[in-house]
Amino acid sequence: MKPITELLADNARKYPNEVALVEINPQELEARHTTWKEYSLIESSPIEAFRSEMTWAEFDEKANRFANFLLTRNVRKGDKVAILLMNCLEWLPIYFGVLRAGAMAVPLNYRYTAEEIRYCLDLADASILIFGPEFTGRVEDIAERMPKVRMRLYVGGDCPTFAESYNALVSYCSSRAPSIEFGLDDDAAIYFSSGTTGFPKAIVLQHHCLAQSAEMEQQHHGQRRGDVFLCIPPLYHTGAKMHWFGSLISASKAVLLRGVKPEWVLRAVSEEKCTVVWLLVPWAQDILDAIDRGDVKLDEYELAQWRLMHIGAQPVPPSLIQRWKAIFPHHEYDTNYGLSESTGPGCVHLGVENVDHVGAIGVPGYRWETKIVDADRREVAPGEVGELAVHGPGVMREYYKDPKATAAVLDAEGWLYTGDMAMVKDGFIYLVDRKKDVIITGGENLYPVQIEDFLRAHPAIKDVAVIGLPDARLGEIAAAVIEVKEGASLDEAGVLDFCHDMPRYKRPRKIIFAPVPRNPTGKIEKPKLRKMYCGDALVAQQVGLA
């Protein structure tokens, strides 16, 4: 097992002039009122902002330059460097540069508000923040309230006055690898997760976690030199990056597509000859719906080379895969289960050979063990519901500076207790409920307490509870059960208008006006609410019975 930084160096040495990464930004074409199909017929004057690429040698050199720059700024082993960027060609070289300097990479969710950014920077003890133009306003709002951050680097043109230019500073640094030694057991990165309280926890991953993820991805999906991986999800997320690690270990090209429209996905597969595509349930459903409506015509695309479609981040409706296989019968299919505490997807996976068990999350992944336990952490019999626990080389080291939270999910033998309730049926693991109340909608986590706290600020609301309801496209949607104060009046339009100050993805998609039940200790009885408004629908959907 090698650190992933060495895998990059190997690729740069063996295949220096081969393309490693491609970035495609279809929005640039739309801004010029040009479709991708029309653009492909243009023989001259390419729009550089639409498509750009990077070879393995360039990737390696950029990582080295950034690592050497950090060392000139007295960054030391174990220092934390936060990355706040949209998907772009610079993202991965910056990440690898941080690792090569011996520092720890701290990817930040690009949907974070300014205050969430500030909170996470402080929690992780980040001393450097590197950000892109999309975040200038948010960073400016907190620029004077980040006492631990001693340097702000800006990636892009027109650098704001409160930051330094990444491009201007890093391009002059040495492209040779720095002589910083680190081992597989050294800390490599901090990723953020959260429980039902909505307060992020800082997850410490070691270099062996990242290396395991790369080897596991290649084992699960068989990436070869000729494969091309289409990466759509954000790179700050363990899911996108750890699936890309399969391309890293096989030295194969990856395409970063900035956008999820069905026509863009299919055009990217066609133009870039993509063979492996990872989708979320809503994107797969949108593609199928666009095909059914005739909005996209498959005979306009070259798709014969596309061999694998896999999905993760949320339960997958069996009916979706049945529809998919009817249109793309030659596709292999896989689904992956994981969490940031297990270095992302793959600790459980279905396996391309088990498409007849769609609805299950699968079997233990490469080098992983699993068990289902009761409240006393004793294994339950097959068919009984309990908490899913996983054990393997991708388990996090700890929650940073939070030994109490760490002890709650990690035992002395290294078993990670996921908080997800599951059962084993015919040798396959099925999720049946969540011990946590986190809502997963379109692959994104929503934290009910945050939404509840926001809504409680409305003068007409007495109490509120947010639960997840099953949704055919998004997996789940957030539903707000609202109890109105006596004598006050409030309708759905009033609630939705009040929510305009909340990030769009956090806004509840269904409003229910009803009493909010609480138990004698004052806790909201969410299981009762789920039973009232979901019945058995969510459980049936997740175990493949619906």
Spatial contact of 266 and 458, defined as CB atoms under 8 Å apart? no
- The domain boundary, picked from 312, 333, 360, lies at 312
Helices (H), 251-280: 262-272
The answer to the question of residue 391 being in a domain is: no
Average pLDDT over residues 324-343: 94
Answer yes or no: is 387 within a domain: no
Is there a single domain that holds both residue 452 and residue 303? Answer: no
Which domain does 472 fall in, by range? 439-542
The pLDDT value given to residue 196: 39
Classify residue 347: in a domain, yes or no.
Answer: no
Prediction pTM value: 0.83
Q: Which CATH number do you get for residue 43? A: 3.40.50.12780
Residue at a domain's end among 271, 286, 312: 312
Does residue 476 sit in helix, strand or coil? Answer: strand
- Is 18 inside any structural domain? yes
Share of the chain above pLDDT 70, in %: 93
Q: Do residues 342 and 394 make contact, with C-beta atoms less than 8 angstroms apart?
A: yes
Region 342-346: mean pLDDT is 93
* Residue 473 pLDDT exceeds 70: yes
Per-residue pLDDT, 537? 43
Residues 6+ apart with CB under 8 A from 511: 479, 480, 482, 492, 495, 496
- Residue-level pLDDT at 77: 93
Residue 482 in domain: yes
Is 54 a member of any domain?
A: yes
**Tokens 């309280």 map to which residue?**
197
Task: Return d(Cα 58, Cα 16) in angstroms, integer.
Answer: 8
Q: Which residue has the higher pLDDT, 128 or 199?
A: 128
Answer whether residue 327 is part of any domain: no
CB burial of residue 353 (10 Å; 0-12, 13-18, 19+): exposed
Average pLDDT across the chain, whole number: 90
pLDDT digits 0-9 by tens, 68-114: 999 999 999 999 999 999 999 999 999 999 999 999 999 999 988 89
**Considering 255, 290, 312, which residue would you say is the last residue of a domain?**
312
Q: What digits encode the pLDDT tens for the residues 182-211?
A: 999 999 999 998 543 457 899 999 999 999
Residue 542: pLDDT over 50: no
Q: Is residue 475 part of a domain?
A: yes
Q: Is the domain of 450 the same as that of 308? A: no
Say if residue 446 is in the same domain as residue 308. Answer: no
- Number of structural domains (the chain) is 2
Q: What is the CATH number of the domain that holds 495?
A: 3.30.300.30
Average pLDDT estimate for 323-350: 94
